[in-house]
Structure 1
Amino acid sequence: MNKKPEKEKDGLLRGAKDAKREDEERYRGLFDRMAEGYAYCRIIHEKGRAQDWAYISVNDSFEKLTGWKGVVGKRATEVMPDIRETQPALFETCSRVALTGQPEKLEMFVEAMQKWFSVSVFSPEEEFFAAIFHEITERKETETKLRESMEYFRTVANFTYDWEYWLDNNRRILYTSPSCERITGYNAAKFERDSSLLEKIIHHDDRPLYVRHMREEFQKTEPASLDFRIVTAGGEVRWINHACQRVHDMDGRPMGRRASNRDITQRRQMEQALRENESILTMSEEVAQTGSWRWDLRTKKAVWSDQMFRLFEVKREDFDGDMNRVIAERVHPDDAQAVLEFNRSILTGISSIASLTYRIVLPNGTERTLRTHGKLVRDEAGHPISMTGYVQEVTEWVRVRNQLFQMKRLYAVLSEVNQVIIRVKDLGELYQSICDVIVKYGELAAAWIELLDETLGELRPVSAAGLDVKKWPLPLVNINGEFRQNEVILEALRTSRVATSEDIQIDERTKGLHKHFGKFEFHSLASIPFQSHGKTIGVLNLLSAEVGWFKDEEEIHLLDEMGRDVSFALDALENEKVKRLWEEALRESEEKMRSIFRVAPTGIGVVRDRVLVDVNSRI
C-alpha cells in the first residue's frame, strides 16, 4: 500500500493549519494593540430567541475603557445584569447583526460609567459578532456645548439694540435681527422674503448714495460706513448710521457682508436744533439791546441794564459799578483771567470788537454760561472814553453743544468698537483694541478692562490705554468686602448696570483712592459691566478729564449698549472656539472609524441608496 500520498496530504493539512494559526495570531495581535475596545461574542439562544451573549475574547482596551475585568467566558447579563433594560438598542443591534450578518453602528450612553461610546458591530460568522468601540464622551459634550452656545449666540443677536443683518455673496438676506421692526416698522420675515426691501425703504434722495456704496464697497475687505435716511412703514423719516464689513468662513472664503444699522435720528435732530440755535443766537447778538453794559474808562465804573442784574443775580442797591469786584465775586475762577484778557484786548486796541464766552457762579452755586460782545468807544478826538457791549445767557446752548460733542464722540467710539468686534478674533487683542479705540476716538483720558477672579473675589486689569495699571494699588475692588477702594466699579459689577461718578476726586465712593487720583487729571468715571453667557465677568472703565461727563440719560444708554456689544463679542469668540473644537473632534472620530473599517477581520462594505460606495481590503 502506497502511503506517500497520505503523507503529502497530512503535510498540506498541517501547513494550512499553521497558516491559519499565524493569520489568527496576526489579527489577534492587531486587535490586542489597537486603542479601541474589541469584543468577540457568541449569541445565546433560549426557546428559539436571542437572550444573551457570551464573551469569547476581548482586548486590553476593552478592560481599560469599560473597567470590566475577567469577562471572557461570562455572559453579558453576568457582567451587566440589567443590560437588556438599560441598553436595549445595543442588545437588539448585536443580536440582529449576528443573525443577518449586516454590520451596524450605534452610539450609546452608559449611565453607570457616565460615558458615551461609539460602537461598530459586524458578524464574522453566523451567531457570532464582533464589536469595536471607542469613547466619545468629550465629543458629545462638545456637541452639546456647541448647540447651547449657538442657541445663546442667536438669542443674543436677536436682542441686540441695533439692527443687524447678514447678506450672502448674492446680496440676499440670510439673517436679520428683530430690531429691524423697531427701526423700520417691517419685521424680519419681510426682509428675509424680499431682500430688495433694504433699498426700497431708503429715502429717494439718499438712494443713489446707498446704491453707490453697495456697488463700490461690497467686495472690499475694509469696514465701511455712511449715514442715510429711511422711510418707515408708518411713513416716518429716520436717520440711519450704517456700518458693514466683509465676512469669511474659517478657510478664508468670502461669505458675504455683515451690517449694523443704528437709528441716529435723535442725534441728527440735536444737530439741526443746534444749527437753528446758532442762527438765532447770531441774530440776537446783532439786534438785542437787553443785558447791555457800559464801562466808563474815566470813572472806572460800569452801568448795567436791568437784564444784567437778573443774569448775574446782583441787587441794584448792592452794585457800585466796580467791575473788578464783580469779576472776583461772580466769574468762575477758571475763566477770570480770560475775562481780564478780554477787557485788556479792547482797551489796548488789539481788537476793536471782541467776544467771549465764560462762566459765572451764582450765590447758590449754580453755574451759568454767558457770551459777551464788547467794543471800544472813542470821542471825537479819537480818545477812548468807554467800553460798551451786551451779554446773553447761552447756558442751554453750550449744554446742547457739549452734549452733542460728547454724543458724537460716544457714537464714534461705539462704531469703532463694533469694527474691532468684527475684525479681531483673539481675546487679548480684543480687550486691548477696545481700550485703544475708546481713548483715541472718544478723546478720553483713559480706559481699562478688569476681569473678575471668582476664586479670590478680585477684579484684575487685563488691558489699558492712557494709564499704567501696573503702578496702581491693586486690587481696587474685592467683591468679598476685603478691598472697597472703588465702590463705583463694585456697584457696576453687582448690579450688572452702568455706574458713573461725576468726579472721582471728591466722590465718597472712591475716597480710598482720592490721594492717588490727585496725581492725575481724572474726574468723570463710567464703569460698564459686560457678560459672557449671561454672567457678569468683568468691567470696562472709562475716565474723562472733565467733570460730569457721564450723566446724560442718552449717554448712559450708549454706554450700556457698549457693554452689550462687548458681551456679544465674547460670546461670538466662544462660539467660534467651540465650533473649532467640535470640528477637530469630529475629524479625529472619522479617522478612527476609517482605521477600524480598514483593519476589520471580515470584509465590510458600505451601501448607500442600494449602491456599494466603499469596501475594505478583506472584500
Structure 2
Amino acid sequence: MSEEKANELRQQAEARLAAAGDDAPDMSVQDSRQLIHALRTHQIELEMQNEELRRAEQELSDARDRFADLYDFAPVGYVTISDKGLILQVNLTLSRLFGVERGRMMKRRFSSFVAAQESDSWYLHMAAILKGGDAAASPLELTFKRQDGSFMCAVVNCLRVQQGDQVVVRLSLTDISGRKLRDERIRKLSAAVEQSPSAIIITDADGSIEFVNAAFTRLSGYAAEEVIGKNPRLLRSGKMPAGVFEEMWQNIRAGRTWEHEICNRRKDGSLYWDAVSISPLKNEQGDITHFVAIQTDITEQKRLAGEKKKFAAQYRSLYENMLDVYYRTDKEGRVVAITPSCLAQTGYTQEEILGRNVSEFYADPSMREPLLSELFQNGSVNDFEVILVRKDGVCRTVSVTGSLLLDDARQPVGIEGILRDITGRKQTEAELRTSEGRLNMAQRIAQVGHWQLDLKTNRLIWSDEVFRIFELDPACFELSYEHFLDAVHPDDREAVSQAYRQSLVTRQPYSIEHRLLLQGGRIKWVREQCESIFASDGAALHSRGTVQDITSDRSAA
C-alpha cells in the first residue's frame, strides 16, 4: 500500500473517532499497559497483513504482466469477437500475422480478413458456433488476406463464451502457411517422382528396395509389391562384368554419385539397357540412410548406335573399296576428299590429289566450264562426260555425276560427285555401232530384218531393215503387235496370228510366208520366222524373229 493511501485511511479513521466522541473509561495503569500492549500487537498484525496484501498485489500485477506477455507474444494469434463478428480484443501475434496495427483492428469485422473465396465457410462456421453446436470442437482451415495483399493459411479454433448477458467468441489462429507450402512441395515432389518417365528406385543403406515408381514397373515388368524388400540385383542380366558393381558400391558408399550404362533383364526375360545414376541420401548427421537410383531406358538408343556403327563400318568399307571414285571439292575447286579408288583410275594416290584443283587433271581445263555451268544452273549433273589425264599421261573418258553443296544460306560451298571411267564402255559402244552398221548393211543386202517382242510389256522392237521392208517411217509408226497385224494383208492376218499363237502353245519355232498390204494397194511378200523364250514355269517371256522380203522370188515363180 502506498504512503499516500495510508495517510488517507488515517485521516478517515480519526474523523470517525471524533464523531463518536471521547468516551474513554477511566483505566488503571495496569489496564492501560495491557491495552497499549494489545494495541501494539494489533498494529503489528495489521502491518503484517498490509505487507502480505502488498505482496499479493505485486504478485497479481506480475501475473497480469506475464499473462499479457503470454497473450501478446504467444506463437498463435488470439482474438475475441462479439456475436456481431466485431473484434473486441486481439494479441500482437495476430496483429503481426495480418500486418495491421492492433489499434486499427479493434471494432473491425473479423470477416474482412477472411479471403473472399472462403467467406461463406466462415459465415456458416460462425453461425454454428453462436448456436452452441459442436462446431466449436471442429478446427477450421481458412485462408486470410493480409494487409499487403498476400495470403496466409491458418487453423482456427473457436470457443463460445457467455459473459453475463453477452456472448463472445474466442479464437486461436495457428499459421500453417509454411506447413502447407511444405506439404505442397512434398506433393509436387511425390508427383514428380511417381510420374517421372525415368524409373526411380529408393533403397535403404543395405540396398533393400523401399520404393519404386510406375515407370519402373513399365520398364522392368515388376510390380512394386514384387520388389519391395528385395535387392535390385534381381534385375541383373549376367551380361555385365562383376567389376562394374564393385565400382558402384565403392562410389556410392563413399558418398559419391555413380553413373553407368547397365544391361538389365525384365521380368519376362528380355534384356534392356538403361543409363543409371545412383546417389546417396544422408541424414542431418551426414550418415547415409538411403540410395536413390534413376534409370532411363536407352535400349532404342543403344540399338540405333549399334546400327549407326554398323552403317559407318559398311560406309567405310564401301568408301574404301568402291570401284568408282567419290570426290568432294571446296568452292574454289580444290579436292578436300577422295576415295582410295582414285589410284586405280587415275594413277594418283589420295595424298597426291588432295589440295589440288580438279582442273589440273583435265585434258583441257576449259572443258570444266560446261560442267560448272550445268551444275550452277540445275544444281546437279548426271553422266556428264569429260576427258581426264592419268598420271602416266593417258587420257581417259570419265562420266561425272555430281551436285552442288550448299550452306544454310543456300550458297554454294563445294561440289561432290562420282567419277566413273567409261573409256572401255565408249570403246565397246563404238565397236557396237560399227557392228550394228555392218549388220544393217548385211540386212539391206539380204533384205532381212530382225524384231523382238517383250510379252510382259508388249514392247516391239524392229531393226531399220524391217521398217524399210514395211515401208514405214520409224518416227511416225507406233510399234505394237496389233499395229504389225494391221500392216499384214487382211486375207493373211488370221493365218499369221494363228501361226504365232500356235507356236506359243507348242513352244516351237514357226515360219510363214504372207503378204503385206502397202500404200496404194501394192502387195509385198515376206517370209517371217519366229521363236519364243519361256520361263521355267512355262510362261512366255519374249519372242524374236526375222522378216525377209521375198517379193522378187514370188514374182519369178
TM range (shorter): 0.3 to 0.5
Q: Which has the higher contact order (CA 8 A, sep 6+)?
A: 1
Q: TM-score, normalised to structure 1's length?
A: 0.40
Structure with bigger gyration radius: 2
Q: TM-score, normalised to structure 2's length?
A: 0.43
